[in-house]
Structure 1
Amino acid sequence: MAMIRNYLKIAWRNLRRNKVYSLINILGLSLGLSCAMLILLYVKDEVSFDMFHENVNNIYRVTQEKTINGKLHKNGNSGYLQGPRFKQNVAGIESFVRIQGGAEDIKKDGAIYSQKVLRVDSTFFSIFSFPLLEGNPKTCLKNPNSIIVSEDFAEKQFGRLNVYGETVMIRQDSIFTPFKVTAIAKNSPQNSSIQFDVLLPFKVSVEDANNDLNWYSYFLNTFVVLNPYSDKTDIEEQMQAFYEKDASGAFKSMIERYGGGQDATMGSYLLQPYSTLHLDTERPAQNGLSNAGNPMYSYILSGIALFVLIIACINFINLTIARSIKRAKEIGIRKVVGGDRKQLIIQFLGESFLLCFMAFAMAIIVVLLVLPVFNELSNKALSFSYLLDFRLILAYLGLFLFTALSAGFYPALVLSKYNPVEILYSRFNIGGKNYLQRFLVVLQFSLASFLIIATFTIYRQFNYLTNADLGYDDSNIISISKGYISKDKAKLFKNELLTDVNIVSVAPNNVGHLWTMAKLANEEEINFSYAVIDESYFPELKIPIVKGRNFSPDHPMDASKNIMVNQAFVEKANWENPIGQTVNFFYNQNEIYQVIGVIKDYHFLSLNQKIEPQLFTMISNISFDNFDIKIKPNSATQSLKHIEESFKKIFPLSPYSYVFKDDVNKEAYQAEAKWRKILLFGALLTIFISCIGLFGLTVLSSEKRTKEIGIRKVLGASVSDVMNILSLDFLKLVAIALAIAIPIAWMASNTWLENYPYRIDIGWKMFVITATLVVIIALITVAFQAIKTALANPINSLRNE
């Protein structure tokens, strides 16, 4: 015990004696550890999504796969029939629940607002572990006019939590009907794919439940619970066999009506484990699911954490060796008086563990300080308590031991092997040619350079996504959503809006919400986005017409038989001259439309998706659901007042809300904008820690070559000559690191960019900029110690010779 206390006392004295280097060592290691801890929090949250449900290992989502035109399509949506029919006819399925997302109009104190809701089966709380503050989970959804509300909704609607038995007025058709609160649920955990404030009972008419065509209606999510002793593959085979038998007639009817080609197949039904929903990029979170994640971000962050931690450990080793010369005589004296190598190794490992412990303590403080900012950037609600998990604590303990041993073991071996005679007569060479330290410097600068290039690539790509020209003008446009607007009502509202001089134009539409298919003149089928607009839409958004003309009230046929398409549609259809071509909606009694104009492609979907074929019509039997209202610049206040008054006049029973179109477009890429900041911070942190390590090696080199430099100065070497001597060695190492990092980073960047249909080009300039930046940073880092050594009095270094 006394020996351990003595080791700790010596270690503490040594740390105090070298405050600056101890601080640099602790700072570099703590930054690496805090970075690793924050990212560990993020990754833990991602992989633990939805794992709080008690029966999560037996819950599966019903999904479908189908090959269309040689391409496999995966679909996570289902409809009315899949849940009840599979439950009734497939052994091993114990229960099911359907979840459908939507919105309902709610009246409160005379005001009407739109509220997101989930419609679910009565088995919802028996399958999912969402705790109730009040109410019976088995019966709260039995009554068709029941409503389950969250804590947040109760506070918002009633101003209190004890609202059991209260009523909420919800519009059913055109009448506001009372719904009784039968349960109050705790707010959904932030790491849940199902988020809700209001639950309503799922309603299915007898007609829909018995209509086999609903096998091919997909608008909700169906989850099933399997018997824990059943085999998933066996159940999928049973599901497929029953589906092919039960839906064969409906499939034949669908093919006869809508076509599908000779290779049309019924598709396959499969089961997706509920725990995999969050990170599934092939089946998007929709129809009642939210919080979709992307495993790419976890991979990127994990890579950053690993790089930073490795670099921090490398620095620890290099800085420890760099300062070893200051303890040379201590080591020699301790060996002369009987100290053996084992004691010295224990001493230096003890100092390493003490330093690591201090670094861990500082890392925890950094995590606590930075966590709110990290949450904001990563769209999380992480707390430090997440780290207090048994498995994570074991991981931290392993991380601590690994860091302390890897950082301290090599220095301990190097320092403890010095010959005491050579040490006391200053005739020893620390670390020989320092091959390990040089290798570590090359490694850390290779990692840093790779991360810088990767960060530049990702930053430029995300910057491109957030600033790219969408192909239309979204400035000064206010969008109002209102479902199922008839042409007559839309015209009435538009005329009312245009009475204000600040309203430039009004364009009712339902762009981007409908998808369908049709046949071309050569009988080839084509899938496309189907949009209903009026003649104001293209002029308002300044979308160029590249061929033909725009819709016009002067042409009566535009409202019934004429259509416009985008360039992607023309390309997909292989039309050389699109004007006059026809499109046949064969499933609507062979309705045939004629192309009168072609617009330039624009991004009506996210830039992460390729521009798809798009068809525009003014047909009168399909309703609008959105108004794009162009206003004069700097007239928002007056315009919004007039828009609200007009809306309430024409639609008195509908909730009113608005958004600015350019704000919506910016919000669509908020995640990319935030990830730019995270990656930039990771790159800067890596550079900073790498510079610390380079500084340490510069100190080592300078102290090893003190006498050489003294002799050179006595023989006439200038300060610049000495700086060149000291700098050249490190620039060689940096050049080697760049030569290793650049080709690897180039391949990795190109592979990553393949995920984006619209992406930047990786040019040679980026690599030149990266190389220049790394070299300049290395020179600045080396220059400080090089100048100090070059200006030192050579007499002091030669005095002992």
Structure 2
Amino acid sequence: MIRNYIKIAWRNLLRNKVYALINILGLSLGLACAMLILLYVKDEVSFDRFHENGDNIYRVVAQAKHDGQLATNVNTGFLQGPRFAENVSGITSFVRVQGATEDMKNGNEIYSQSALRVDSTFLSVFSFPVIEGNAKTALSEPHSIVVTEDFAQKQFGKKEALGQLVMIRQDSALVPYKVTAVTKNAPQNSTIRYEVLLPFRESKEDAQNNENWYSSFLNTFVVLNPNADKSHVEAQMKVFYQKDARETFQSLLKKYGGSSEMGTYILQPFADIHMNTEMPAQNGLVNASNPMYSYILSGIALFVLLIACINFVNLTVARSVKRAREIGIRKVVGSNRKQLIFQFLGESFLLCFIAFSLAFLIAQLVLPVFNELSNKALALSYLADTKLIIGYILLFLVTGLLAGFYPALILSGYKPVEVLYSRFQISGKNYLQKSLVVLQFALASFLIIATITIYRQFDFLINTDLGYNDSNIIMVDNFSISEEKARLFKTEVLKNPEIIDVAPTNVGHSWTGARLENGNDMSFNYVTIDESYIPEMEIPIVQGRNFSEEHPSDATTAILVNEAFVKEAKWDNPIGQTVNFFYNDDEIYRVVGVVKNYHFLSLNQEIGPQLFTMKPGNDFDSFYIKIKPNSAGVSLEHIRQTFQQIFPLSPFSYNFKDEENRRSYEAEEKWKQILLFGAVLTIFISCIGLFGLSVLSAEKRTKEIGIRKVLGASVKNIVTILSTDFIKLVMISLVIAIPIAWYVSNKWLENYPYRVNVNWEMFVIAIGLVVLIALFTISFQAIRAAIQNPVKSLKTE
């Protein structure tokens, strides 16, 4: 019997190739989309779950109120780990993790390598498998180094890595570090990813200085006893901290001012870090994510799959008229309703099986593109998980039932007398199918409007005037560049006629505070520059003047500020106002100029107060080099040679400023592409559903169309009659989608301090697109029905 069902189902698919292809394509696209997004979500929720003791690992996070607002700081300093571990019961061990960049030597080449500075307990706390060496002692010596398989391959080739020396720059010399262990590469679903581990550096003075309670430049992790109560441990931490640090806190508050409370420390579960937007992965930790991405992608997958199942229902019912006689004959010769239901469910499951097979193929082909969009390195092999396999089996069964059960009930319920005497008509107004089409196009319309919003915001971000000219500027990075070295480098580089100007700076990287004349304290971005920076970047000066060599005292007494600084300081006449760096023996500077606000950070952040100085003791960390247009090749070679002569132990690296600015909006660009694909896929599958419904309508009204043509109706009249009902459905979907899209778009744009407005043009474009796509889909079947010979439809009457 089952063999017979399968044979009939297969023959029916071959007899209706076009409809079978549309059904399979719709389902396979929906399933492929669901598979890819399931891979993404699985990877997101699996982050950091591989550590054997992961449930007991917590990050120490500071909490305090500033001006009445509760603020958290995930970065800590030297003291939190060792002092809590020693004085709080329930904490068994700790490890500090600090992100670092080290200059290393490989052969004759000096290159920059990201690394982590960690305590010796690192490999005991975290479960990174050690291939060679001893995990407990690998980081106990100050000049030891632990590397991964990949790093060992790059650095040593086929040589055994254990015991080899790696030359690392410290100050102005290269110091040998001995490889004491080799670990497997960190998994991709790890918040801690590294190629190099180095021992954490801490002096005796650092460990004893109580002011280091308030340094924050690393992550501190503690391991709790499995029987310890987290809230009880946090209570102990608060008591000890406020006892141990109170005197220091009051001393610093008196010295620097402010209205902060002493606060406390809390414990953040390690597995919570990856998708926590308030306490994210940073400062050596990577792969910070937003759970909203998983919610959005899961929603897209759910709706695409639902729409694919809806299309199956619509198309199967639409074709039921063609099978009415077959069903009637089967009932006459003895088939009961149960058998017919099994037959049609069998056809549904056969289609689903083919669609599942095709979906795996589509997912495999699209996976590289999806990985690029999602910044992942996913593989379909990740689906070989017991829970996921069970999930896919359930998905297959649910999809087959959803897609086949309703049509099976409808088709198996036909009365043989009516269908065999050609008196059969599909009754009812098909409210279910119409409602589903409205749902499909409402979702498609919503995604189109969302995509247009993201496109416009992205274009706004990359095309908005930043307040300076970022074209033809090369940024060369280096750390701790003294004024003397900066002057020498600038002089040598400017010997090339293709180079217009050189400006050393540390723009955007440093924040500090100072006291105004009225006694108020304020914080600001603190920038060290020379007299070339403002003119090179073409930043307008709105009041006063720039730094100048004609005023030698500018280096020690003068500052520039931006308009945001003036606004926050509430100065009516900023020129001549003073700023007191009271914690540096009352260093007082006078404002000589005000620069126009410019976006020294990305447009994702509001322009804040900024202060410029030429203080001689401050180091620079980069050079902004302006070159002539179309001279990048020649200029870069000269810059590289000069850099290597003056900084022989530093790796040469550069970026173009305009390219770096564009990279600031990579997340927006990727979401623009993801939503575009989602909108296109949803529209495509929705059109399949609309096509199915138009087929159903045309076949229900075959006789009506024939009579209208005999009575003189034109093809245009008939197409209009057949299309009107569907356009009404599409318009209803737009009425539903537009207010929701307007609300969601505005909410999303609130995340940006500089943004486009949601205006009527966006909705006009969306309405036009949806209506045109729907008309194109409907008109194909409507025109086909309208041009048929009426004799064929009326000759049996």
What CA RMSD, in Å, does the superposition of the two structures yield over aligned residues?
Answer: 1.3
CA distance in structure 2 between the aligned counterparts of 1:774 and 1:110, rounded to whole angstroms: 61
* Matching of residue 749 in structure 1 with residue 749 in structure 2: no
CA distance in structure 2 between the aligned counterparts of 1:287 and 1:161, rounded to whole angstroms: 33
Q: How does 1:228-377 map to 2 (within 5 A)?
A: 228-261=226-259, 264-377=260-373
Residue of structure 2 equivalent to 1:87: 85
CA distance in structure 2 between the aligned counterparts of 1:431 and 1:589, rounded to whole angstroms: 91
Tell me the CA shift for residue 431 of structure 1: 4.1
- SS of aligned partner of 2:362: helix
Tell me the CA shift for residue 557 of structure 1: 2.7
- SS of aligned partner of 1:501: coil
Tell me the CA shift for residue 18 of structure 1: 0.5
- SS of aligned partner of 1:316: helix
Residue of structure 1 equivalent to 2:409: 413
Residue of structure 2 equivalent to 1:587: 583
Tell me the CA shift for residue 284 of structure 1: 4.1
Residue of structure 1 equivalent to 2:32: 34
Deviation per CA, 1:346-394: give whole Å up to 9, x if none: 1111111111111111101101111111112211100011111112122
Residue of structure 2 equivalent to 1:725: 721
Tell me the CA shift for residue 43 of structure 1: 1.1
CA distance in structure 2 between the aligned counterparts of 1:655 and 1:450, rounded to whole angstroms: 49
Residue of structure 2 equivalent to 1:517: 513
Residue of structure 2 equivalent to 1:128: 126
Tell me which amino acid in the other structure corresponds to 2:418. Answer: E
* Matching of residue 772 in structure 1 with residue 768 in structure 2: yes
CA distance in structure 1 between the aligned counterparts of 2:672 and 2:615, rounded to whole angstroms: 44
- Answer whether contact 2:31 2:356 (CA < 8 A) is retained: yes
CA distance in structure 2 between the aligned counterparts of 1:670 and 1:179, rounded to whole angstroms: 37
CA distance in structure 2 between the aligned counterparts of 1:778 and 1:71, rounded to whole angstroms: 51
- SS of aligned partner of 1:556: coil
Identify which of 39, 54, 57 aligns with 1:56. Answer: 54
CA distance in structure 1 between the aligned counterparts of 2:780 and 2:658, rounded to whole angstroms: 49
- SS of aligned partner of 2:500: strand
Residue of structure 1 equivalent to 2:177: 179
Tell me which amino acid in the other structure corresponds to 2:306. Answer: I
Tell me which amino acid in the other structure corresponds to 2:529. Answer: I
* Matching of residue 533 in structure 1 with residue 529 in structure 2: yes
* Matching of residue 619 in structure 1 with residue 615 in structure 2: yes
* Matching of residue 689 in structure 1 with residue 669 in structure 2: no
Tell me which amino acid in the other structure corresponds to 1:39. Answer: I
Deviation per CA, 1:464-496: give whole Å up to 9, x if none: 333333222111111111211121221111111
> Percent identity, aligned pairs only?
67
Tell me the CA shift for residue 147 of structure 1: 0.7
Deviation per CA, 1:659-705: give whole Å up to 9, x if none: 22222222222232222222111110111001111011111000100
Tell me the CA shift for residue 95 of structure 1: 0.7
Residue of structure 2 equivalent to 1:149: 147
- Answer whether contact 1:466 1:672 (CA < 8 A) is retained: no
Tell me which amino acid in the other structure corresponds to 2:93. Answer: S
- Answer whether contact 1:530 1:616 (CA < 8 A) is retained: yes
* Matching of residue 641 in structure 1 with residue 632 in structure 2: no
Which stretch has the larger CA shift, 713-722 or 457-466? 457-466
- Answer whether contact 1:516 1:530 (CA < 8 A) is retained: yes
* Matching of residue 794 in structure 1 with residue 790 in structure 2: yes
Deviation per CA, 1:686-737: give whole Å up to 9, x if none: 1100111101111100010000000000000000000001000100111111
CA distance in structure 1 between the aligned counterparts of 2:458 and 2:382, rounded to whole angstroms: 30
- Structure 1 segments, 4+ long, off by >3 Å, are none
Residue of structure 1 equivalent to 2:104: 106
Tell me the CA shift for residue 792 of structure 1: 0.2
Deviation per CA, 1:531-554: give whole Å up to 9, x if none: 101111111111111222111111
Residue of structure 1 equivalent to 2:572: 576
Residue of structure 1 equivalent to 2:206: 208
Deviation per CA, 1:247-267: give whole Å up to 9, x if none: 111101211211113xx2112
Residue of structure 2 equivalent to 1:68: 66
Tell me the CA shift for residue 451 of structure 1: 1.5
CA distance in structure 2 between the aligned counterparts of 1:794 and 1:229, rounded to whole angstroms: 83
Tell me which amino acid in the other structure corresponds to 1:770. Answer: A
Residue of structure 2 equivalent to 1:218: 216
Deviation per CA, 1:578-627: give whole Å up to 9, x if none: 22222222222222222222212222222222222111111111111111
Change in 2 beyond 3 A, CA 1:323/1:161: farther
Tell me the CA shift for residue 112 of structure 1: 2.1
- Answer whether contact 1:569 1:614 (CA < 8 A) is retained: yes
Q: TM-score, normalised by structure 2?
A: 0.98
Tell me the CA shift for residue 161 of structure 1: 5.7
CA distance in structure 2 between the aligned counterparts of 1:781 and 1:758, rounded to whole angstroms: 39
- SS of aligned partner of 2:233: helix
> For structure 1, which runs of at least 5 residues remain unmatched after alignment?
none
- SS of aligned partner of 1:230: coil
CA distance in structure 1 between the aligned counterparts of 2:722 and 2:624, rounded to whole angstroms: 66
Identify which of 559, 564, 578 aligns with 2:555. Answer: 559
- SS of aligned partner of 1:518: strand
Tell me which amino acid in the other structure corresponds to 1:206. Answer: K
CA distance in structure 2 between the aligned counterparts of 1:367 and 1:30, rounded to whole angstroms: 9
- Answer whether contact 2:274 2:280 (CA < 8 A) is retained: no
Which stretch has the larger CA shift, 520-529 or 719-728? 520-529
Tell me which amino acid in the other structure corresponds to 1:482. Answer: N
Residue of structure 1 equivalent to 2:545: 549
- Answer whether contact 1:304 1:451 (CA < 8 A) is retained: no
Tell me the CA shift for residue 120 of structure 1: 0.5
Tell me the CA shift for residue 169 of structure 1: 1.2
- Answer whether contact 1:62 1:78 (CA < 8 A) is retained: yes
- SS of aligned partner of 1:291: coil
Which stretch has the larger CA shift, 347-356 or 603-612? 603-612
CA distance in structure 2 between the aligned counterparts of 1:565 and 1:69, rounded to whole angstroms: 25
- Answer whether contact 1:466 1:673 (CA < 8 A) is retained: no
- Answer whether contact 1:584 1:591 (CA < 8 A) is retained: yes
Change in 2 beyond 3 A, CA 1:446/1:715: same
CA distance in structure 1 between the aligned counterparts of 2:385 and 2:243, rounded to whole angstroms: 49
Matched residues, number:
797
Which stretch has the larger CA shift, 317-326 or 335-344? 335-344
- Answer whether contact 1:698 1:786 (CA < 8 A) is retained: yes
Which stretch has the larger CA shift, 427-436 or 200-209? 427-436
Tell me the CA shift for residue 296 of structure 1: 2.3
- SS of aligned partner of 1:759: coil
Which stretch has the larger CA shift, 714-723 or 491-500? 491-500
Deviation per CA, 1:381-416: give whole Å up to 9, x if none: 000111111121222122222211111111111111
Q: TM-score, normalised by structure 1?
A: 0.98
CA distance in structure 2 between the aligned counterparts of 1:58 and 1:563, rounded to whole angstroms: 50
CA distance in structure 2 between the aligned counterparts of 1:385 and 1:404, rounded to whole angstroms: 24
- Answer whether contact 2:169 2:649 (CA < 8 A) is retained: no
Residue of structure 1 equivalent to 2:400: 404
Tell me which amino acid in the other structure corresponds to 1:59. Answer: I
Tell me the CA shift for residue 576 of structure 1: 2.5
CA distance in structure 1 between the aligned counterparts of 2:279 and 2:573, rounded to whole angstroms: 37
Change in 2 beyond 3 A, CA 1:737/1:455: same
Residue of structure 1 equivalent to 2:671: 675
